[in-house]
Structure 1
Amino acid sequence: MLQWPNPLIEQRADPFILHEGSEYYFIASVPEYDRLEIRRASSITELAQAESVVVWRKPDTGPMSELIWAPELHRIAGKWYIYYAAAHTKALRDNMFQHRMYVLECADDCPLTGTWVEKGQLITQFDTFCLDATTFSHQGKQWYLWAQKAPDIPGNSNLYLSEMANPWTLKGEAVMLSKPEFDWECRGFLVNEGPAVIFHGERIFITYSASATDENYCMGLLWANKDANLLDPKSWHKSPHPVFTTCETNRQFGPGHNSFTTTPDGQDVLVYHARNYTEIEGDPLYDPGRHTRVKLIEWSPDGMPDFGIPPADHP
Structure 2
Amino acid sequence: MQKEILNPIVLQRADPFVYKHTDGYYYFTGSHPLYDRIVLRRAKTLNELHDAEEAAVWWKHESGPLSELIWAPEIHRANDKWYIYFAAAPDTNIDDDTFNHRMYVLENASDNPMEGNWVEKGEVDTGMSTFALDATTFFHNGEQYYVWAQQDLDIKGHSNLYIAKMENPWTLKTEPVMLTKPELSWEIKGFWVNEGPAVLIKNGKVFITYSGSATGVDYCMGLLTANESDDLLDPASWTKSQEPVFQSCPENSQYGPGHNSFTESEDGKDTILIYHARNYTNLVGDPLYEPNRQARAQKIDWDKDGNPVFGKPVPDDRWTPKTPDVLK
Fold match (TM-score > 0.5): yes
Identify the TM-score tier after normalising by the shorter chain: over 0.9
Where does 1:86-165 land on structure 2 (aligned, <5 Å)?
86-92=88-94, 96-165=98-167
CA distance in 2, matches of 1:283, 1:301: 43
Where does 1:289-304 land on structure 2 (aligned, <5 Å)?
289-304=292-307
Amino acid at match of 1:76: A
Which residue of the partner structure matches residue 6 of structure 1? Answer: 7
CA distance in 2, matches of 1:40, 1:8: 12
Unaligned runs of 5+ residues in structure 2 are 319-328
Shift of 1:8: 1.4
Amino acid at match of 1:144: Y
Which residue of the partner structure matches residue 210 of structure 1? Answer: 212
CA distance in 2, matches of 1:248, 1:271: 19
Which residue of the partner structure matches residue 44 of structure 1? Answer: 46
Find the partner of 1:284 among 275, 283, 287: 287
Which residue of the partner structure matches residue 321 of structure 2? Answer: none
CA distance in 2, matches of 1:74, 1:200: 19
Amino acid at match of 1:232: D
Amino acid at match of 1:143: Y
Shift of 1:30: 0.5
Shift of 1:92: 4.9
CA contact (8 A) 1:88 1:99 kept: yes
- Find out whether 1:260 has 2:262 as its counterpart: yes
Q: Please, what TM-score do these two structures have when normalized by structure 1?
A: 0.98
Amino acid at match of 2:6: P
Q: Specify the SS of the correspondent of 1:118.
A: strand
Which residue of the partner structure matches residue 166 of structure 1? Answer: 168
Which residue of the partner structure matches residue 28 of structure 2? Answer: 26
Closer/same/farther in 2, CA of residues 3 and 91 from structure 1, 3 Å limit:
farther
Which residue of the partner structure matches residue 238 of structure 2? Answer: 236
Q: More deviation in 161-170 or 107-116?
A: 107-116
CA contact (8 A) 1:59 1:65 kept: yes
Deviation per CA, 1:139-194, whole angstroms, max 9, x where unpaired?
A: 21000000000121110000000000000000122100000110000000000000
Q: More deviation in 89-98 or 110-119?
A: 89-98
Which residue of the partner structure matches residue 70 of structure 1? Answer: 72
Q: Specify the SS of the correspondent of 1:46.
A: helix
Report how many aligned residue pairs link the two structures: 315
RMSD (Å), alpha carbons = 1.3
Shift of 1:312: 1.1
Q: Specify the SS of the correspondent of 2:174.
A: strand
CA distance in 2, matches of 1:251, 1:202: 35
CA contact (8 A) 1:2 1:296 kept: no
Amino acid at match of 1:13: A
Q: Specify the SS of the correspondent of 1:285.
A: helix
CA distance in 2, matches of 1:270, 1:166: 28
CA distance in 2, matches of 1:146, 1:259: 13
Q: Specify the SS of the correspondent of 1:173.
A: coil
CA distance in 2, matches of 1:186, 1:293: 24
Q: Specify the SS of the correspondent of 1:249.
A: helix
Amino acid at match of 2:71: W
Deviation per CA, 1:190-231, whole angstroms, max 9, x where unpaired?
A: 000000000111101000000000000000000000110001
CA distance in 2, matches of 1:299, 1:227: 20
Unaligned runs of 5+ residues in structure 1 are none
CA distance in 1, matches of 2:87, 2:75: 13
Higher fraction of strand: 1
CA contact (8 A) 1:14 1:257 kept: yes
CA contact (8 A) 1:3 1:295 kept: no
